Structure 1
Amino acid sequence: MQTTIKGISSLVFLWTVTAVSAQQDPLPAHINTQRNLIVADVIEFATLPDSDGEPARMMNLVDEAVSQRIFVNDMRGPIHTISYDGQTVTPYVNINDAQWGVGVEYGGRERGFQSFTLHPDFGRAGAPGYGRFYTWTDVSDNITTPDFVPDGGNNAHHTVLHEWVAQSHSSPVYDGGAPRVLMRFEQPFANHNAGHLAFNPLAQPGDADYGMLYIGSADGGSGGDPLNLSLNMASAFGKMLRIDPLGNNSANGQYGIPSDNPFVGQSNVVPEIYAYGMRNPQRFGWDPANGNLYMADIGQNMVEKVSLVPKGGNLGWNAWEGSFRFEGRGQISTESPRSDPNVVYPAVEFTRFDPLLQGRVAATGVVVYRNGPIAAMNDRVFFGDFVSGEILHFEADNVPQGGNTGIARLLLRDSSGEAKTLLQLIQQKNQQQGRSPAERADMRINMGPDQRVFVLNKHDGMVREIVQ
């Protein structure tokens, strides 16, 4: 007998086939809020200035060790730098300034300056990547010829990967010229179009992975992947891509295709693909102990998940939503979960019906904490639900095999000594600022220098650091 679950919006894990109504939680148990609970001190590390009269919509944080600065971007276009002590916040560049010709499209909750990263050679004078950084941005220009098209949709806008080159890595403000376009996507719909950018921080000069840029490319938006792009290997949508930004053997000649990419040379397959079958690859990160690559992928209406991403791996979307067969928006089958041996199923999953998560959910992350100063956090994979602001974690050395039973919680203890969620801290800060309390957190979690963990949000301009 096949059971279909309808009308929910975010997770599941159920080993046995049971009848579940539209208003019931399909999980056999809720997240245990006390098991392996971590309560850590948190400080207000730095404040980013408002943009357009509203709090900075912070998306990513990147450490630059040579100049000892932390870079943080605002979805509307600005990048700021923060000193390691948090005392000095400096505008670095606004990529939406008219002089650069980028034209950031930041209307709505999901569009804008999605992510950025610094080349690992950014601070190494004389190295090929010196002064280079990369931005991944939704732009209003949808006329320029794109490199990747979705074969359908309404050409809502484009998403562009730019390379910027600073003359001096230590300049307090960007001192280079206009950016160079590496790749351009035509987006078929207006929502969840792009994801994360990162270089593997574990790779060293001379390694095959050194200087290779990983790119999260979502399935193009709408709902349910209506154009069937994520499993289409001739499409760059719904994939994790890997390129050499300093190379030139791509179809457009603006970047390189690494020879060790898993699908290089295969007919009718985009050679940039590193892994596939993703809906909205929100954030990813590496385990410094073993090189495991984890990704938080936002689900459709059922499953939020964090997964390992092996080279060449198929993460299943849109044939699978998490551990379950996808049958349409708001519909999954609980028959034969995790039954395709060719699919990489989630390490952990969670549902909007869990009372901890307050009804609206979306997975974010991912930070793997090893050998850091906060003993309770060691050997754990940290991620979160960026809507509710719940920070969650699971074991890095005994990775779960799906469901929510391996998920534990982290709470933040402020100066009053009370343990709170990030959303509660944001709301408290909003009251001090004279703003209406935020209804959601829009959280991001990032690793900074020396295993320091920072928490970002879009509603009070505050960068927080976990410090216990």
Structure 2
Amino acid sequence: MSRFHGLFAAALFAAAAVPSFAAPPPDLAAVRVPNSSTTFSSAVAIRAPHDGSGRLFVVQRNGTIRVIKNGALLTAPFITVPTSMGSESGLLGMAFHPNFGKPSLPHNTEFYLFYTRPSSDPQLGQYEDEVVARFTVPTPDADVANSAGTLVLRLPDLQDNHNGGDIHFGADGYLYVSSGDSGAQGNPHGFAECLWKKPADNNKNSCGTNPSGTQYFLLGKMLRIDVDNRGGTVSADMCGSSGISPAEYSIPASNPHVGTSQTCDEIWSAGFRNPWRFSFDRADNRLIIGDVGQGSYEEITVSAAGVGGLDHGWSRCEGRHYDDASGTGTTCPQTTNTVAPVIEYDHSSRCAVSGGFVFRGPVRRMHGTYFYGDSCNSQLWWSESTGATWDSGGEHSLTLGSGNIYGFGEDEDGYVYIVRSNGQIHKLVSEFIFDDDFQQ
């Protein structure tokens, strides 16, 4: 059974830990948004454009995005896309173009969605495709988007779980996309490690050598693409452009596998099981990824801005522990030369990590605090985000209401929002906004 199925199971766990370092302010609270009575169906993320509007966009797996504007939920949805909503599939991610809402700049009406195509659409693999599509609004300040979109990238899939599905623009202007390892338990086909195309043949060692059967690619990865430079010829190493021509993206020249043969050049990093939620630290552009584990451990990894080509270890490693029975190692990364998690925890009270954000908003005491959660637990967890191991000072938690945590978001000012299984959205707030701790 997929550990990530806990995303849609109810659980409650009492708070316990007393912070011993970099504690959030004593008046930290989670305030319902937009009010105490509004709930959302199957919400998984909060997104906000940097356009000065103050709007929040609630991403729901059922294919609908709702808008909170001036503290109120608008009646009309921003957009509804047709999607196949399986156990973990549906509408999973949203990213506004960095120029969104800036009339003098190009691409100022564009935003991107990651979702599962409906079963009536053509598909590349055994299950409905996971896709990234570009959409637009009629004007930069419009509260209802144009319904027609353009397919940008297609991923074949085997099952309706382990989809990843988070998307964000980095400070480099490129679009980053997370993908899961196909849902098959234990990564039996080796998709997470393979940098090229391969079939579902239950052979981890056949990467690029078995041309028979349906070919899968780009699974268990973090991808990076240039969506601004598009319209060119689809090259052989643009694996995500199958059936899309001309190309709706290009490959950044600094991607790690550019110039090598039989590699999918969209790949930024590899070795993931289900990187369900990730984020960038707006202070230094670190890439922080919550990767859902299998039977025992959850992990959060971090890489410096601009550092690609990393192997995050799955399925040889689960967290800091050797997992692949075919190997002889005992610890990760010492015996695997893979990326070690900055945070690891076991399944004694949790089961599927929901990666969060490093707080960079107006509450100075929380600067540098990484907030995250778990879909099988109602606690908000946090850690300082310095050093090689963020959990070295112990794990810390706060109970700020019921409802397990499915996802996070941040607004234009840097405040962090929590998306819960009970359909509630919360904003983390405090009056401690100055370095000297005087209240406002």
Q: Normalised by the size of structure 1, how large is the TM-score? A: 0.75
Pick the aligned partner of 1:72 from 51, 55, 58.
Answer: 58
Q: 1:192-341 counterparts in 2 under 5 A?
A: 192-200=162-170, 203=171, 209-210=172-173, 212-234=174-196, 235-248=217-230, 249=232, 250-251=234-235, 252=241, 253-309=247-303, 310-327=307-324, 335-340=330-335
Instruction: Give yes or no for contact 1:77–1:113 (8 Å, CA) kept in 2.
Output: yes
Correspondence for 2:358: 368
Q: 1:340-379 counterparts in 2 under 5 A?
A: 340=335, 342-353=337-348, 357=349, 360-370=350-360, 372-379=361-368
Correspondence for 2:383: 394
- Partner secondary structure for residue 449 of structure 1: coil
Once the two structures are superposed, residues 393-431 of structure 1 have per-residue CA deviations (whole angstroms, 9 ceiling, x without a partner) of: 222222417xx54343242xxxxxxxx3442xx4xxxxx
- Partner secondary structure for residue 389 of structure 1: strand
> For residues 58 and 343 of structure 2, what CA distance do their matches in structure 1 show?
28
Once the two structures are superposed, residues 12-47 of structure 1 have per-residue CA deviations (whole angstroms, 9 ceiling, x without a partner) of: xxxxxxxxxxxxxxxxxxx95543454512211215
Tell me which amino acid in the other structure corresponds to 1:198.
H
- 1:90 Cα deviation from its structure 2 partner: 4.3
- Runs of 5+ unmatched residues, structure 2: 5-15, 197-216, 236-240, 242-246, 431-440
Instruction: Give yes or no for contact 1:321–1:332 (8 Å, CA) kept in 2.
Output: no
Correspondence for 1:166: 137
- 1:455 Cα deviation from its structure 2 partner: 1.0
> For residues 451 and 334 of structure 1, what CA distance do their matches in structure 2 show?
42
Instruction: Give yes or no for contact 2:359–2:415 (8 Å, CA) kept in 1.
Output: no
Alignment of 1:447 onto 2:437: no
- 1:143 Cα deviation from its structure 2 partner: 5.6
> For residues 391 and 364 of structure 1, what CA distance do their matches in structure 2 show?
10
Identity of aligned residues (%): 25
Once the two structures are superposed, residues 312-343 of structure 1 have per-residue CA deviations (whole angstroms, 9 ceiling, x without a partner) of: 11101111111121136xx9988244313631
> For residues 228 and 303 of structure 1, what CA distance do their matches in structure 2 show?
20
Instruction: Give yes or no for contact 2:329–2:336 (8 Å, CA) kept in 1.
Output: no
- Partner secondary structure for residue 301 of structure 2: strand
Tell me which amino acid in the other structure corresponds to 1:351.
D
> For residues 391 and 213 of structure 1, what CA distance do their matches in structure 2 show?
28
Q: Normalised by the size of structure 2, how large is the TM-score? A: 0.79
Correspondence for 1:457: 420
Tell me which amino acid in the other structure corresponds to 1:242.
R
- 1:76 Cα deviation from its structure 2 partner: 0.2
> For residues 393 and 345 of structure 1, what CA distance do their matches in structure 2 show?
19
Tell me which amino acid in the other structure corresponds to 1:317.
W
- Runs of 5+ unmatched residues, structure 1: 1-6, 11-30, 97-102, 150-154, 204-208, 412-419, 427-440
- 1:48 Cα deviation from its structure 2 partner: 10
Once the two structures are superposed, residues 239-279 of structure 1 have per-residue CA deviations (whole angstroms, 9 ceiling, x without a partner) of: 00001122234443121111111111111111001111011
> For residues 266 and 375 of structure 2, what CA distance do their matches in structure 1 show?
29
> For residues 36 and 273 of structure 2, what CA distance do their matches in structure 1 show?
31
